Amino acid sequence: MDPTTKINIPESTRERIVIIGGGFGGLQLARKLTRKDLYQVVLIDKNNYHQFQPLFYQVAMAGLEPSSIVFPFRKLFQGKKNIFIRVTEVTSIDPIKKTLQTPLGFCNYDHVIIATGADTNFFGNENIAKYALPMKSVSEALYLRNNILDDYEDALTTPDYDPRQELVDIVIVGGGPTGVELAGSLAEMKKHILPKDYPELNIEEEVDIYLVQSGGELLKGFSAESSEKALKYLEDMGVKVLLNSRVTDFDGNLVHFNDGRSIPTQKVIWAAGIKGMPVDGLPETSVTYGNRLAVDRFGRVKDTENIYAVGDVAYMEEPNWPKGHPQVAQVAMQMGSNLARNFTNRIKGKEEVLFTYNDKGSMATVGRARAVVDVPKPKFQFGGFFAWLLWLLVHLFAILGTRNKVFVFINWVVNYINYNQSLRLIIKPKIKEL
């Protein structure tokens, strides 16, 4: 492969739209654009599949197979003639030459959409970045699963109390939906699975699950009632929730807090923040809060031409969202849809439409039969079993592919009946020695 050559994509009489990233935003855009044969669409992603991030935590907790929450792009676009998929990483953009650079070569564009999402933000702490476990990809979720299971195996052959504590205790940093969902799931694992799998360990006495949140409430951005309910659910399940606490350092064995305390553990799961992942080559003035790309209400990146951004990497202000939108799947998908509509309108000579976010509400689950839901219009909040049922339904419908829906549904039913996920396998890739 020669990065100085052009990537092999047929030239077309139609304008070329290149989408970087097939996540929630990029994929929505690609699916809408390929319904009409108005443009040549090129989708570039470093993976050959779309990932359903909201269920990563279930992969990490051995509740779902990774293959149930990912979907191959090529299967999704089978039969579509106006899309070309290339599996590679875009390393930079040249806005003057209108080209993108990848290890496979360069690719020219008429319009490019940056839909690269966000990455874990360790806020510049190199130790935390080195030792903590993030969960921003299905491979990281799988790594986490292996790590947790490996450590329980090691604990069996660690007779001394202190080093065993490091193996069995888990600290989750970040009290947003991901942290809350992980903590709830781990608490259930501690109660229902670990005592059966590891009867030699004193699970009840020795295993502690900590959830650390820098602010005074969980689920920031949710209603006060939902935050309080989530806290109560977790505490009832035995999770040690540390509010107003900040992790300052982690050396792989000991996690340190701003008040001078420390907890021995080898596992710190980092769900405390994300930052946008813009591609190199854009003007400095295009990058704004949270390392996101400043876009106008049409999704155009500030101080550029024919370059757009959607989803987590885009920062857009609108009257109802003066500090930008939440970095969630609905925003990304709606931005993708609006941009697709505007590209179609452009060809048809119609006016482009300003983006307006339609907030459908927020939800988080805290384990079996416990969840919280905030509905914005009419404004109300509810929790408990029906909130959990709604959470299940919404997520089931959102997963791509009938096979995935069926597999996830069957897994959930089995887990609900017997509390016993059967995927507690430590499967690691074999590294070939050359």
Give the footprint of ligand FAD on this chain (CB under 6 A). Answer: 20-26, 44-47, 53-54, 56-57, 89-90, 115-117, 135-136, 177-178, 277, 279, 311-313, 327-330, 332
Of 105 and 311, nearer to ligand FAD (C-beta) is 311
Of 45 and 166, nearer to ligand FAD (C-beta) is 45
Of 165 and 304, nearer to ligand FAD (C-beta) is 304
> Cβ of residue 116: shortest distance to ligand FAD, in angstroms?
4
As a residue count, the chain comes to 434
Of 165 and 411, nearer to ligand FAD (C-beta) is 411
Residues in contact with 67: Cβ distance below 8 Å, sequence separation at least 6, in sequence order: 404, 407
Of 256 and 302, nearer to ligand FAD (C-beta) is 302
Of 254 and 369, nearer to ligand FAD (C-beta) is 369
Q: Which strands, in side-by-side order, build the sheet including 287-288?
A: 287-288, 292-294, 314-315
Q: Which strands, in side-by-side order, build the sheet including 105-108?
A: 92-94, 99-102, 105-108
Take residue 319 and report the two structure tokens written for it. Answer: 């009257």
Of 134 and 164, nearer to ligand FAD (C-beta) is 134
> Cβ of residue 182: shortest distance to ligand FAD, in angstroms?
8
> Cβ of residue 88: shortest distance to ligand FAD, in angstroms?
7
> Cβ of residue 134: shortest distance to ligand FAD, in angstroms?
9
> Cβ of residue 329: shortest distance to ligand FAD, in angstroms?
4
Residue 391 to residue 398: CA distance in whole angstroms: 11
> Cβ of residue 394: shortest distance to ligand FAD, in angstroms?
9
> Cβ of residue 151: shortest distance to ligand FAD, in angstroms?
21
Task: Tell me which residue has its CB nearest to ligand FAD.
Answer: 23
Of 54 and 383, nearer to ligand FAD (C-beta) is 54
Residue 69 to residue 58: CA distance in whole angstroms: 10
Of 26 and 63, nearer to ligand FAD (C-beta) is 26
> Cβ of residue 173: shortest distance to ligand FAD, in angstroms?
13
> Cβ of residue 389: shortest distance to ligand FAD, in angstroms?
16
Residue 341 to residue 276: CA distance in whole angstroms: 25
> Cβ of residue 374: shortest distance to ligand FAD, in angstroms?
12
> Cβ of residue 259: shortest distance to ligand FAD, in angstroms?
28
Of 193 and 329, nearer to ligand FAD (C-beta) is 329
Which one, of 21, 13, 20, lies nearest residue 38 by Cα? 13
Three-state SS letters, the chain: CCCCCECCCCCCCCCEEEEECCCHHHHHHHHHHCCCCCCEEEEEECCCEEECHHHHHHHHCCCCCHHHCEEEHHHHCCCCCCEEEEECCCCEEECCCCEEEECCEEEECCEEEECCCEEECCCCCHHHHHHCECCCCHHHHHHHHHHHHHHHHHHHCCCCHHHHHHHHCEEEECCCHHHHHHHHHHHHHHHHHHHHHCCCCCHHHHCCEEEECCCCCCCCCCCHHHHHHHHHHHHHCCCEEECCCCEEEECCCEEEECCCCEEECCEEEECCCEEECCCECCCHHHEEHHHEEEECCCCEECCCCCEEECHHHEECCECCECCCCCCCHHHHHHHHHHHHHHHHHHHHCCCCCCCCCCCCCEEEECCCCCEEEEECCCCEEEECHHHHHHHHHHHHHHCCCHHHHHHHHHHHHHHHHHCCCCCCCCCCCCCCCC
Of 168 and 172, nearer to ligand FAD (C-beta) is 172
Q: Which amino acid is at 251?
A: D
